[in-house]
Every structure is written in C-alpha cells, then in structure tokens.
Structure 1
C-alpha cells in the first residue's frame, strides 16, 4: 500500500465542482489583485478568529516579515524566540537587522520553554516571537504576562495554527494569533487551511497596526501612488482567496477529522515502547496540523517507511542556532540541548482529512513491525 505524506487531489476530487466554480468566476471577472473576494475572505477570517482586522498577504513568510518590520523588530534590537522552528520565524527578524535570541524548548510540546524567556530579557529586548508549532500553542498567559511586565511586543507565529485556540486562565478560548500585537497565518497547501499556492494573513486587534499592515502590503502606499512608507509588494491573490473561502466552509469538519486520525495513531501506537507520542499542555484546542512522534533509531525507521512506500517528513533536522545562516549569532552545539536532541528523534507521519483509517493502520503496523524485526 502506498500512503502519501500529503495530497490535495482527494480534497479536490471531493469538492471539484465548488473549486472549479470559484476559480472560473475569478478568471471571468479578471480581477486578480485585491479583488472583492480577498476582502470577503478577510472578513470571514475576522469572524472565524475573532480578530478585529485581517490583512491578506502573499505568504506566511511575508506576513512575518511585514509584521516584524512594523513592530520594530530590527536595527540591532533583540527578539526572543525558539531555535526549533522553520527558518522564517527568525529570518523575519534578521531581514531588518534585528537579533534573534533563542530559548530552548519544552521537551513534551516542542514549543518555546516559557519559563526561560524572562532570563533572556535585557534593555535591548523589544519583543517575543512565540511559535504555535504543529499541534499546540505555548503558554500564552505566561508570555503575555512577561511581555506586559517588560513592555515588549508580541508577534505570534501562527503559520501552522489556524483553528488553534487557547483558554489558559481566561474565561473563553482565544484564537491563535489574536492574543498578541500581531498574529500571522500561512496558507501553504499542506496547512490545515491551505490554498493552491502561497498565501498568508496578518491579524490584529489594533486599528493603527492594521492600517500600517494594509499600507505595507502595497509598497507602503496609503492610497494609490502616495507612499508613506517603504513597504512591500505582498498581496493575497484573488484566486487563492476564492479557493480558501471554499475550504474555510469545511474547516471545522477538517479539524474534527484530524483529531480522529491523531487519536487513531495514539491508540495504535500506545504500546510501542520505541516511540513517544505528543503531549498537550494547557487548556487549548488543537488542530493536529502535523502528527509527530519521537522515535528510537529515527533515521532507520524513516528508511523503512520509505521502503514500504509511506510518506513522512522531519520537522526539523537541524535547529536554527546550528544553521549556517545563523552562524554569526555565535551559538554552538550544546547551547540548546533539548532542541538538538528532538531534532534527532522527531518524525512526522501522514495526516490530512482525506487519509483513510486503513492507511493509518498500515502506517502504524509498519512502525511496529520495524521495531519487532530489529
């Protein structure tokens, strides 16, 4: 049996008529740049997340770069974040001459260790960039308390976290990205809400920040050909907005199905002593964008999965502080031992709403057989 790590084809086949109609409508109208469907989609995101403002941009990376620029994460200022993440979570800081200051991660959640943030704060620190990674959010109550105490800005990297909600000590759940000063989403095809190409979104509850983001995405223009800032050319394509609007209608069903798949994985693998399963902390709602395990002989297992035509991915094989691009920061091996160890053990298994229970069982049986036959 062949099991893809991810495929968009099944979802397209199921909703082909809706997708084709949405795409054809844009082509016939010819309004490809910031068409009315973009604003309609932004309004739908505002309603779904509870954020006051949503601003569509060309990618999740652009969303981070623009938000970091506006918040002043630049010019030698320090911003605290995690070394265990995708490049863009830190490169958005260095793009503007800011300095990422890394903090090790929590071994069970893979998110930033919130109890180690405050010790890295000094007079040059201006912000915190928490990453809502894979399946859950770090303790946003703690992060916001630290930020308020030290007058820091918070940029939530919620690129992987559409649909995640945090309750913590509050009376109601708050959507990822809608807690800090800015939050960002990615609509890369594999995401929980993914398009048929690149796309991103900035959300905020601050009117002034929203107006700045709207200017920055169109070269810094407050109105056409009137440039108040040196901005960016980063706009969510109308085609992508139309496709994403179709998918948004079914997002709760997709999240529910992802939870069912994750629970099936956990049930089937619970007695396999060679793997550790994800653990959630805090009062929150997960989305299971990725299903990771920590595996003994990870590389051997990966090769065995490949041999048996099972797709997988490794998020992430090298922590950012050991990447050549961040060598100038002066970190060395051993500085963040938890992140380094996790990079050698972590393995992502196939998870998307259209995968079948039979395929999940095959993946689990293959993992169990690998360790039995060692």
Structure 2
C-alpha cells in the first residue's frame, strides 16, 4: 500500500510552533533582561534555580553552561583519583563518557537492558572492581533507569551514583516501598541539559546539577565558577560554566508549560502505541511500570535489523523524518578505541544500534500528523 506524502512538512522537532503561543511571555522576559542588563548571574538565574528546585521536590539546583559541563562538574565533585573507573552505559550519547575521559578517569561501558535501554544492574555488578569509583545512570529517551537497584548497588559497594538526566526531566520512579523519586535527585549528583531539543530547552545551551547535599552543592557552585570561594580567591581548579541570565529568563517561561507539554507527549505516545499495535516485526517502547515516561523520544525497535534503514527511507519518501539514536555503541566510537573493547562485548547495545528508530514526538504535532505517521509506518509492514 502507498500513501501520498503529508503537507505541510512534518518536523522532527518544531520549536517555532512550540514558541508561538508563548511569544508574549518570552518577549517580556527578554525585555526585562535587556532593561536590567545583568547578563551574567542576573536575577533570573536565581529565580529559575528556585523554581526548578520546587518542581523537582526541593534539591539544591546548581546551574551551568551545558549538560556536558554538568556531567564533568558532577564527576569533579567526587574527587576520584586519576585512573578511577566510571561505569557508563554502552548505549548512550558520547558525552556520558567524554566527561569522565577528560578528567583522566576511565569510562567502563556496561551493557543495557534490551527493553528500557537503561543500565543492566546485573551487568553493573559484574563490572565493579576495586578501581571503580562511580556509576553513571542514564535515563534514556524519557524514563528512569532502574534507580532502586542502582542505588542499592552503589551503596553496597561504597560507590557514587551520578544521574545523567538530560532526556528525562520530570520523570519519576516509584520504589518497592512506595517512595516516589524524581529523576536526577537520587544520586550523589544529578545532571541535566537545556539544549534546545530537550523537553525543557533553552534558546541556546544550558545545564544544571541537582543534589540534596548542601556541602556538595556549594562545592559545585565553586567548581562552576573558576573554583572560587569568593571573588579572586580560588581554592579549586574549576570551570567557567555559567547559565546565561537570558537563557534562565526564557527557561522560567518554558518551565511553566512543561507539565502541559509532557502530557501532550504522553498522549501522542499512546496514539502511536495504538497505531503500531499488532505489527509483526515492530516493538513499541517498553515502559518500566515503576517509572513514568516523559517521551523525549518515541523509539521503536525492528526485530529484523536489516529492515530498519529501509523503513527510514520509506518514511522519508512520505515526508516523515526519523532519527537513529544511536548508530554506534560508545565502545565502537573511534575516540574510545583506546579503551580496548571489541565488537561483540556488549551485545545488547550493539543490537540496539542496529534496531532502533525514533519518530517525531513533540507537543505541537497535530492529531492528523500523528495519524499520518502511524499510517506511514503501518504501510511499510
């Protein structure tokens, strides 16, 4: 079956449409920044920090320049010896490893769960050695990794737990005892990114760290500001990593709409689930019943990996964009060949790189666009 291409074009992410209803609020925030002219550490930064902390249930929030800096600052705050091992998912964006490698730490890839893509706790436990200093859990595509198991492992082995929460801000995890944890607030440090494509995205770069430890929060603030304890007094080697006042002002506006956007993403995901139900050879995103899912991405899997690229071309011909997150597992990236891993060592991650495909999911997708994307996928099978 063939279907005509959809017009107007469907976008993987439509920031112009997302921003249009907020134009008056965004313009007012911009004008206030211009009037105050406090472009570095202006009032909007402290206000955004307070509001984001409240949204997450009260952790200390330390803003910084981007999500990669946030990961690096989180690891810097642990004061691990050079050469310490940091366990990371084999299926993730490369920044998770990059932050460790830049600090002279050793990123150690660990395989992931084939359904929810988070770290496999059994594989994590098997990878722990006397040199291990930290576990970095990545909450991929919008839902939490197995936070309860990973927190338990970290505590049992006296390791730090870092949460890379760049893709799952607003997700929660319910423990076996009924506690509800906000993603990014369970580890010694959580990190996030405000890259424009994120669920809460700036109009440029931005990031933040979360911790319940007031002493660590103060250290993170110092590390993000050249290691200063007070102006011109530098007790640590730090970074120049600040969230621009302008970005904080815009993020304050967008934070007020985040719950509404999350609900829209979840509604679209449910419609995709229904559209793709019963398609042999296609797996819809698995949900961990303990975690909510904020659907930064809607990522399907093809059981026959040889058909993934053909499906992508089929969709493109109909005007439906799609993206492979991620085409290479981290241990196969040329920059990390020095770690010495070989093809086949992380089979789940390697298979996922061949099988996954993400289709558009953003709050401004119109119902008829969602229906068209569903039919475009079904027509392939």
Q: TM-score, normalised by structure 1?
A: 0.97
Q: In the alignment, does 2:360 pair up with 1:346? A: no
* Counterpart selection for 1:76 from 75, 83, 90: 83
- Counterparts of 1:117 and 1:208 in 2: how far apart (Å)? 28
What SS does structure 1 have at the residue aligned with 2:137? Answer: coil
- Counterparts of 2:317 and 2:141 in 1: how far apart (Å)? 26
Structure 1 counterpart of 2:279: 272
- Counterparts of 1:73 and 1:177 in 2: how far apart (Å)? 21
The answer (yes or no) to whether the contact 1:51–1:203 under 8 Å persists in 2 is no
Q: In the alignment, does 2:343 pair up with 1:333? A: yes
What SS does structure 2 have at the residue aligned with 1:128? Answer: strand
Q: CA deviation at 1:274?
A: 2.6
Q: In the alignment, does 2:313 pair up with 1:321? A: no
Moved more, 148-157 or 278-287: 278-287
Structure 1 counterpart of 2:52: 45
Q: CA deviation at 1:171?
A: 3.0
- Counterparts of 2:121 and 2:366 in 1: how far apart (Å)? 37
Structure 2 counterpart of 1:205: 212
Q: What pairs up with 1:88-237 in 2 under 5 angstroms?
A: 88-237=95-244
* Counterpart selection for 1:258 from 265, 277, 302: 265
Q: In the alignment, does 2:314 pair up with 1:300? A: no
The answer (yes or no) to whether the contact 2:63–2:209 under 8 Å persists in 1 is yes
What SS does structure 2 have at the residue aligned with 1:15? Answer: helix
The answer (yes or no) to whether the contact 2:118–2:146 under 8 Å persists in 1 is no
* 1:162-184 superposed Cα distances (whole Å, 9 cap, x missing partner): 00111122433111111010000
- Counterparts of 1:257 and 1:279 in 2: how far apart (Å)? 19
Q: CA deviation at 1:14?
A: 1.1
- Counterparts of 1:64 and 1:126 in 2: how far apart (Å)? 15
Moved more, 301-310 or 211-220: 301-310
Structure 2 counterpart of 1:356: 366
Moved more, 134-143 or 228-237: 134-143
RMSD of aligned C-alpha atoms? 1.1
The answer (yes or no) to whether the contact 2:142–2:169 under 8 Å persists in 1 is no
What SS does structure 1 have at the residue aligned with 2:133? Answer: strand
The answer (yes or no) to whether the contact 1:51–1:178 under 8 Å persists in 2 is no
Structure 2 counterpart of 1:310: 320
Q: CA deviation at 1:69?
A: 1.2
Unaligned runs of 5+ in 1: none
Structure 1 counterpart of 2:291: 284
Q: CA deviation at 1:72?
A: 2.9
- Counterparts of 2:59 and 2:142 in 1: how far apart (Å)? 24
What is the aligned residue count? 371
Q: CA deviation at 1:272?
A: 1.6
- Counterparts of 1:30 and 1:114 in 2: how far apart (Å)? 49
What SS does structure 2 have at the residue aligned with 1:130? Answer: strand
- Counterparts of 2:80 and 2:315 in 1: how far apart (Å)? 41
Q: CA deviation at 1:51?
A: 3.7
Q: CA deviation at 1:324?
A: 0.4
Distance change (3 Å), C-alpha of 1:57 and 1:21? same
Q: In the alignment, does 2:255 pair up with 1:248? A: yes
Distance change (3 Å), C-alpha of 1:353 and 1:73? farther
Q: CA deviation at 1:142?
A: 0.8
Distance change (3 Å), C-alpha of 1:191 and 1:18? same
- Counterparts of 1:273 and 1:19 in 2: how far apart (Å)? 45
Q: CA deviation at 1:123?
A: 1.0
What SS does structure 2 have at the residue aligned with 1:80? Answer: strand
What SS does structure 2 have at the residue aligned with 1:344? Answer: helix
The answer (yes or no) to whether the contact 1:168–1:282 under 8 Å persists in 2 is no
- Counterparts of 1:230 and 1:224 in 2: how far apart (Å)? 14
* 1:316-358 superposed Cα distances (whole Å, 9 cap, x missing partner): 0000001101100100100011110110110011011111111
The answer (yes or no) to whether the contact 1:51–1:204 under 8 Å persists in 2 is no
The answer (yes or no) to whether the contact 1:79–1:127 under 8 Å persists in 2 is yes
